[in-house]
A and B are shown apart, each in its own frame.
Chain A
């Protein structure tokens, strides 16, 4: 997955009504790229057997 640029992140933020510039924009871009790299790796795992709801309320009763 290619890395996002600050301009792309700024546009995404504007689309959901959030203002981003300066140091905030740079760090949010780095944080998002860290997420993209780390979570993209999950696609290679076989998660088909994963239970669909992580904490079953019925277990708590």
Chain B
């Protein structure tokens, strides 16, 4: 029974709590029991707010029984990447450098979910400073719920695990170059990167200011829409925010009929894409066609270069933010983070300028395609989750560094470079039982159409109902 409850969507749980069919205390206790049972292996959490969550759950139950006005997330336990400030709770950014950092205020997104009645269950593991490539995690190595010897994707690793393994009702991550979509893809969850400028970054430790986008990781598209609706819109402090659309989930029930879908040929059929992944994405496009969408291939010749372009720009932005700490306390960074930041700090400016031009050209390619198609389709990653051991082996050549660091990012960074929204959701499993992520890319500030397409596919395909074979 408790597993059935844990795998309910956040929207379902909110309805059950509102109708008095389940108590917020029972829901919180269910997730805490699962964390106790499974997180010793999976390492999704950096901090579990056990007593506080139980206390808030008891208060939520009292409020419901008294007939108080309830928020849309009343009594629903959520967890957030440990990159988002939380008042009175350490916010480590996955780094020893911030191990004792305790913010004085909640980040805007956390405050908004709490105002909606949500209960903060804890803070989730991530690669150091959300950069990716961490070799040693202070809170333990995050492990894939479908195979603990495999990577989770990052940087919102714990958010992907907790969503897929039902260690929270829903989670938040932050996506700069794929940090929400990558763990969603490899862990078998739904991960939404909103349009840049839709969700406030106030209280979110920055990675790259021109691309950072907080977004939800959930088990259903409906939940992604629910959370986005709660966290989007200006907060008066992040200067680059546009007024949020009324309801990003408004079109979820409209189906795919009438949509135009472009299949990005370079990412689906490219030499780096594993055939099993390409076949699953082609099958997904075919499902959308059967649902009434008009589907055609589209060519975006520059996107295979997006990974290198992204890293030249985003890593330079990150290196600028970290420069004073890097100069004074380099030894306290994880070795993977330190090497990545120093390489970016040494990049010739002539090349970063060339990358800035290339970014503009890639953006024009993506936006141009989105004038002809409502959504674009691509794999979230070129392979399913690889073994953890591979990512920890030493880099032995420039060519290998390009394969390891640029290739995978070329799948998620076109949307980041263009500032458009994108969502990853499951589109099948490999013969070995690992999830394959389908990425849908949409028009700026048109999350409603993006989520409409994703929801239509999710409901027709049924992959999102699968549960990982957890042992604990």
A→B interface (CB under 8 Å): 3, 9, 12-13, 16-20, 23-24, 26-28, 30-43, 45, 47, 49-55, 57, 59-61
Contact = CB atoms under 8 A, between A and B. Distances in A.
27 contacts: A12-B346, A13-B346, A18-B330, A19-B330, A27-B401, A32-B347, A34-B402, A35-B343, A36-B398, A37-B398, A39-B312, A42-B305, A42-B357, A43-B354, A47-B354, A47-B360, A47-B361, A50-B358, A50-B360, A51-B363, A54-B359, A55-B197, A55-B210, A59-B444, A60-B240, A60-B242, A61-B242
Given A24-B338, A38-B308, A39-B308, A16 B396 contact: no
Contacts of A37: 398-399, 402
A28 B305 contact: no
Contact of B339 (A24, A42, A52): A24
Given A17-B327, A41-B305, A36 B351 contact: yes
A52 to B, nearest CB: 7
Nearest to B346: A12
Given A30-B396, A51-B364, A60-B240, A39 B354 contact: yes
B437 interface: no
- The B contact surface, by secondary structure, is helix
A27 B346 CA distance: 13
Given A33-B398, A50-B364, A60-B240, A55 B419 contact: yes
Given A35-B308, A45-B361, A47-B357, A23 B398 contact: no
Contacts of A17: 327
B355 interface: yes
Contacts of B401: 27, 30-31, 33-34
A53 B357 CA distance: 8
A30 B405 CA distance: 11
A20 B327 CA distance: 11
Contact of A24 (B302, B312, B342, B347): B342
Given A18-B345, A50-B361, 11 more contacts: A30-B398, A34-B401, A35-B351, A36-B351, A37-B398, A38-B305, A45-B302, A45-B361, A50-B360, A51-B364, A54-B356
B135 to A, nearest CB: 10
Nearest to A56: B419
B324 to A, nearest CB: 11
Interface string B361-400: 1011000000000000000000000000000001111111
Contact of A13 (B308, B311, B342, B406): B342
Interface in B309-360: 309, 311-312, 326-327, 330, 335, 338-340, 342-343, 345-347, 351, 354-360
B146 interface: no
Nearest to B326: A18
Contact of A31 (B241, B405, B419): B405
Interface centre among A9, A19, A53, A60 (most CB of B within 10 A): A60
B402 A27 contact: no
A38 B308 CA distance: 6
A19 to B, nearest CB: 7
B186 interface: no
Given A34-B398, A35-B343, A55-B210, A42 B354 contact: yes
B357 A28 contact: no
A43 B351 CA distance: 9
The 10 closest A-B pairs by CB, nearest first: A33-B398, A38-B308, A34-B401, A50-B360, A31-B343, A34-B402, A47-B357, A39-B351, A30-B401, A34-B398
B288 interface: no
Given A9-B346, A34-B406, A60-B240, A54 B305 contact: no
A18 B398 contact: no
Nearest to A9: B346
Given A38-B402, A47-B357, A55-B419, A28 B312 contact: no
B417 interface: yes
